[in-house]
Amino acid sequence: MELTSGKEIEPLLRETIAAQIGQKKLDRWFPSSIRFDFRGERLAVLAPQENICGFLRSYRSEPLASACRQLFGREVPLDFLVEEAPLPGKNSISPVVDVTTSRDPIRLRGAEPAPAPSPAASSSLPRRKTERSGRVFASYDSFVVGVSNSTAKSIADIAIRTPGMFNPILFHGPTSVGKTHLLEGIYSEYRKNSGRKRPKFLSADEFTGLFVQGFQEKPGGDRSFRARFLDANLLVIDDIQNLEKREATQRELTHLIDILQSKGVQVVLSADRPIAEMTFLKPELRTRLGAGVEAGIETPERETLLKIFNQMARQRGLEIPDEVGRFVVSRLAVHARQLSGVINRLHLACLTGAGPLTPESAAGILADLTVRRQTPVTLEEIEKAIASVFGIQTKELRGRSRARQCSHPRMLAMWLARKYTRSALSEIGRFFGGRSHSTVAAAQKKIDIWLSGPEGAEFSDPLKRVEQLLAASRH
């Protein structure tokens, strides 16, 4: 079976691009009217018009090249070509304008070449849709729960079982920790039992776009805009940090929250930071959000990453040994999008007959991803280095003493743990004496302030010595 048709490779390429730039940008930058066709050692990017080819060549080459490097482990030449539309009344598929000469196509090992379709059969070949297909939302059951997101998941359960009990709800956390997945899962659950009312899901950018469009269409656009949501049983808005400098949209969101709350409609939002750090929000909107509930989602710990990795593999129908999954999450992965890229690489290796997957073979397949990475620093190593430099016992770092000689090294240890490890706030807090994630976050902020102020002199020399010890342990 030849891969030049793109049937096997194109979905993997699109998933790889999405893992790097996000699904929303993928849909916007490379809609279904743009096709990818692998021809030997080259990638043909097929567009319906020459001006689109020129635009893609000038402004979209880098994400394509980067995705190819990640997927194939090498540079792949790109050709931007025009795919002409079929003439009315013609059944045959129009040829692609191509001026390149490709080498032998990549083949799946052990697969027989597919017979060429007869001229009579060519008219019934399935055509790729030119319009953008509807968005596919993640299911609630597929959200992987771990220490890093258990509180957020519990609040989501309440939002589904008892709409409006906590209203509005804000989930916050850094990129690629599962915020959008959780929001999509809540939306999917509401769709199952929506009845005559329908849930609404928008990004903050889409919300702004609809609001502006309402005013452009006719006077009193704010009323017609709000009317869009009056039959909703759920409103979900993703990435509200993008409302910065959009004061009119913020005011409209405030009014809409008031209206929906009065009707008992659940409102769920997400952001990349907690309410206290979104100082750009107008006071009335901050007040509405503060009256509800917020829950943080942290960077997944290794066991959660392993669950996510195994789930991705099952969805692809891949049987990946547990030791391979543990190798991946211990050496490579920091978040789910990285895991998606790794899964793509391993999937491609299976398609091309790389043999059984083992930690050793996976290390070879992923060698270019690991060449610059060192073994991660551990919490135990940070604890020992801090204790050595400050001349205290490790048990004192985990103890309850608030004396300066213990509390300051402890805060610095937590700061270093955030800098050098993949551990979540809650995991760091548990390690250093069963403290809460908020304690770790406060320690991190305090050390940042001290290092940038007059107190920095107190920490600069010991910090340098601790980092030298950690660097020495890497060799």
Burial code (b: 16+ CB inside 10 Å, e: under 16) for 168-205 equals bbbbbbeebbbbbbbbbbbbbbbeeeeeeeebbbbbbe
pLDDT at 393 over 50: yes
| Final residue of a structural domain among 296, 327, 360 | 296
- Residue 7, pLDDT score: 54
What the block records as the tokens of 60 is 């979209």
In-domain check, residue 207? yes
- Residue 474, pLDDT score: 57
**Distance separating alpha carbons of residues 11 and 15, to the nearest angstrom:** 6
Instruction: Determine the structural domain holding residue 72 and report its residue range.
Output: 1-85
| Final residue of a structural domain among 34, 56, 85 | 85
- Is there a single domain that holds both residue 274 and residue 329? no
- Is there a single domain that holds both residue 333 and residue 404? no
Query: What type of residue sits at position 18?
Result: A
**Distance separating alpha carbons of residues 398 and 115, to the nearest angstrom:** 68
- Is there a single domain that holds both residue 365 and residue 460? no
pLDDT band at 89 (very low <50, low <70, confident <90, very high): very low
pLDDT at 216 over 70: no
pLDDT tens track for 128-143: 333 334 578 889 999 9
In-domain check, residue 104? no
Average pLDDT over residues 190-206: 85
> Average pLDDT, whole number, for the chain?
78
Pick from 211, 141, 195, 137: nearest CA to 163: 195
- Is there a single domain that holds both residue 155 and residue 291? yes
How many CA within 13 A on the CB side of residue 37?
Answer: 22
In-domain check, residue 126? no
- Is there a single domain that holds both residue 255 and residue 327? no
Number of structural domains (the chain) is 4
Q: Are 424 and 298 in contact (CB under 8 A)?
A: yes
Pick from 232, 441, 336: nearest CA to 18: 336
pLDDT at 215 over 70: no
Pick from 58, 78, 55, 54: nearest CA to 66: 78
Higher-confidence residue: 238 or 87?
Answer: 238
CATH number at residue 359: 1.10.8.60
**Distance separating alpha carbons of residues 5 and 9, to the nearest angstrom:** 8
- Residue 315, pLDDT score: 84
- Residue 202, pLDDT score: 92
pLDDT tens track for 112-129: 333 443 333 333 333 333
**Distance separating alpha carbons of residues 208 and 237, to the nearest angstrom:** 11
Higher-confidence residue: 334 or 289?
Answer: 289
What the block records as the tokens of 17 is 């691009």
In-domain check, residue 122? no
Q: 46: which strand partners?
A: 35, 81
CATH number at residue 251: 3.40.50.300
In-domain check, residue 119? no
CATH number at residue 419: 1.10.1750.10
Average pLDDT over residues 392-410: 88
- Residue 172, pLDDT score: 93
**Distance separating alpha carbons of residues 325 and 309, to the nearest angstrom:** 7
Average pLDDT over residues 1-30: 69
Strands (E), 179-257: 200-203, 234-238
Q: SS in 3 state form for 246-309?
A: CHHHHHHHHHHHHHHHHCCCEEEEEECCCHHHCCCCCHHHHHHHHCCEEEECCCCCHHHHHHHH
CATH number at residue 2: 3.30.300.180
pLDDT tens track for 426-456: 888 889 988 888 888 888 888 888 877 776 6
In-domain check, residue 116? no
- Is there a single domain that holds both residue 278 and residue 337? no
| Final residue of a structural domain among 85, 108, 142 | 85
Burial code (b: 16+ CB inside 10 Å, e: under 16) for 236-255 equals bbbbbebbeebeebbebbbe
What the block records as the tokens of 348 is 């491609």
Asked if residue 168 has a cis previous peptide bond (ω within 30° of 0), the answer is: yes
pLDDT at 463 over 80: yes
pLDDT band at 105 (very low <50, low <70, confident <90, very high): very low
In-domain check, residue 102? no
- Is there a single domain that holds both residue 283 and residue 196? yes
